Chains A and B, each alone.
Chain A
């Protein structure tokens, strides 16, 4: 793999291979000595044009546990906020000898632009671009589902027959997009539930069913319910009347949670708005995978960095 830009491009075999490497990485995380020497002497830059402490520290932990040198480059308070272009920033990192760049950017497509521009030789990992994709989040979600379902026998498996319902702001969610592609590539069926205003105007090309009625979808007894974060700014742009109406209609409240089969996983990419899209009882229940998702995130990101940066560079994805 040369870059990890989206899950749409990922084949089933590549995705399963990455998840299997992540299983190996997870096994390392259970040892007392958590560090591997694999990327010693390699430099990974976390290039964050958007605030995201959670994703950044997850990548930082992943790189450090592979013994890479880590440079954190935050756009805030740097030359970027003074108008430096993506190109100049990239060339600066190139001059510093970055082997891998983990980029979080507010513009959809920025990681692809960086990877294809010729400004930089480094492998590029998309850590979330605009409202486009967030591939490592989807991979860690898939990893989490697979582990919960298959435990120690996870290796080599896809998610065939798994029924996943994703609920919330699909329109603006890069997590939803990456999950739609990845989970269906792995054999799962995906259902999207949202207010009509928070769905893209045309989803006919998406391999997912789309609906507006959360109760109807939950009545199907899904294996996984994934709740997405509602951003505060959506409430002021006429996407829905107010947070109370949203929570009542599309939130995973106690009553809805109680109707779910006890085997249904409750997922959330974090950070959660408790009381809005998810009630505390659901978030804190044994069915919730929220903390596992965070732990698995490090393993999955270790796997991604390992596949991109170990060995000879330059072979095609």
Chain B
């Protein structure tokens, strides 16, 4: 008999308060629950209960870059952020461009047990943009890949992009494009504009993103395929996507928490914590992205969690690595950027951080409403626990967070995955305990 949890008095995203009983990996009951003998009680008075969050864009770095993150530590960070499923980007070493690598990642995720690890397959061999990777083999593998991306690099060759879009139709796949025209961004260091000119940093022009998105939505229309746009960062990109959706093109788009909150002014410090790709943009872009998320032009929030070791960020700006960790802070940042100002309510948050990403990624067992019979994937969030974001909130291996020292309006209190707690009372549960739960659950599904 596995541990049962009774969550009492939680505020549901849809409004109203309820108790939730988690038992045998599902939500056994929702409502006023008087009798739950033997269950561990979690007092959720004042806490918002959300379906476990799903991140369509995570860098777990394993295999190959274990000094930055591993599947274990990355999913611990996920648990600390309220996530119960992460899509692992393909830019590992070796690159996730074969069935063998994606199956290994998925199995590491199952063994760790903190969250569902759904590998993303590379579009091209070695992310080199020259030749299609074995997309079909990855789709048919035990990792069951549906999302393909060369993230970190743009599939810039238009013919290759067209072929990839067409090919994945055979198994309901989607190409997640990192939209960055490579020639227009050679050596780029920050958003191109007045500030880049002043700081003497090579500019990353918005048009380098917008032109690729414009091309790709037209390609997707032409071949009748599904396109997903990673980390949309400019107001112009929003306009292109809005146009494409109005035209009926099957495109979805994501925005990162940092592009919803932070602006390029932070680069004036030359502090590499703020170096990220695509770069932080203008306040006008942030505003357009927020509105686009609110009106559905942008479908989801995805973290682009990108861990780097200390030495990769302790340097002059040009030499520093691009990227920020984001899993642990995502929900509080979304709260600060679009919930506090009323653009989104908690039901919208459940959609953009759970249901919609699960749906785009064709991931079963996640993103379900908190109803009787749904999978027991739950995050509890305290929207009144404003505090300065600090190192003890980071649970992954790397600490390259742009939010350290910044006041955020709330915090994740508990996360439940497969019915067991992965994060409870502000602490990640021990790895051996979680591994035992995970293996018991695996036994259960086999038997």
Contact = CB atoms under 8 A, between A and B. Distances in A.
Contact of A107 (B192, B194, B196, B316): B316
A78 B202 CA distance: 27
Question: Of residues A107, A116, A132, A171, which shows the largest number of chain B Cβ atoms within 10 Å of its Cβ?
Answer: A107
B267 to A, nearest CB: 9
A232 interface: no
Contact of A204 (B194, B314, B317): B194
Interface string A93-119: 000000000000111111011001000
B315 A86 contact: yes
B315 A205 contact: no
Interface string B197-224: 1111111010000000000000000000
B315 A130 contact: no
Contacts of A107: 316-319
Question: Of residues B196, B198, B269, which shows the largest number of chain A Cβ atoms within 10 Å of its Cβ?
Answer: B198
Contact of A130 (B193, B200, B203): B200
B283 to A, nearest CB: 14
Contact of A108 (B192, B311, B314, B317): B317
Given A109-B270, A113-B270, A202 B318 contact: no
Interface string B23-43: 000000000000000000000
A113 B317 contact: yes
Contacts of A112: 269-270
Nearest to B186: A237
Contact of A87 (B194, B198, B269, B314): B314
A277 interface: no
A107 B189 CA distance: 10
Contacts of B314: 85, 87
A202 B197 CA distance: 7
A198 to B, nearest CB: 12
B200 A131 contact: yes
Nearest to A204: B194
Interface in A109-160: 109-110, 112-113, 116, 129-133
A240 B91 CA distance: 37
Q: For the side of the interface on A, what is the size category?
A: 20 to 34
Contacts of A133: 200
A201 B270 contact: no
Contacts of A229: none
Interface in A235-255: none
A206 B198 CA distance: 8
Given A201-B192, A202-B193, A205-B194, A113 B315 contact: yes
B205 A201 contact: yes
B199 A108 contact: yes
Contact of B317 (A8, A109, A203): A109
A105 B193 contact: no
B199 A132 contact: yes
A109 B319 CA distance: 11
A105 B316 contact: yes
Contacts of A132: 199-201
Given A109-B201, A130-B318, A85 B311 contact: yes
Interface in B155-201: 189, 192-194, 196-201
A181 to B, nearest CB: 9
Contacts of A268: none
A130 B202 CA distance: 10
A205 B317 contact: no
Contacts of B202: 131
B204 to A, nearest CB: 11
A87 B317 contact: no
A106 B317 CA distance: 11
A309 B317 CA distance: 27
A174 interface: yes
A200 interface: yes
A292 B302 CA distance: 58
Interface string B313-325: 0111111000000
Interface string A189-231: 0000000000011111110000000000000000000000000
Contacts of A163: none
A177 interface: yes
Nearest to A112: B270
B197 A203 contact: yes
A109 B270 CA distance: 6
Contacts of B192: 201-202
Given A113-B270, A202-B193, A86 B198 contact: no
A200 B316 contact: no
B400 to A, nearest CB: 15
Contacts of A203: 194, 197
Contact of B193 (A116, A171, A201): A201
Contacts of B311: 85
A174 to B, nearest CB: 6
Contacts of B200: 108-109, 129-133, 174, 177
A201 B203 CA distance: 9
Contacts of A131: 200-202
Question: Of residues B189, B192, B197, which shows the largest number of chain A Cβ atoms within 10 Å of its Cβ?
Answer: B197
Contact of A110 (B196, B203, B316): B316
Contacts of A171: 197
Given A85-B319, A131-B200, 12 more contacts: A106-B318, A108-B189, A110-B270, A110-B318, A113-B315, A129-B200, A130-B318, A131-B201, A133-B200, A177-B198, A201-B193, A202-B194
User: What 3 pairs across the A-B complex have the smallest Cβ distances?
Assistant: A200-B197, A132-B200, A109-B270
Interface of B: 189, 192-194, 196-203, 205, 269-270, 311, 314-319
Interface of A: 8, 85-87, 105-110, 112-113, 116, 129-133, 171, 174, 177, 200-206
10 contacts: A87-B314, A106-B318, A108-B189, A109-B270, A116-B269, A130-B200, A131-B202, A132-B200, A201-B192, A201-B205
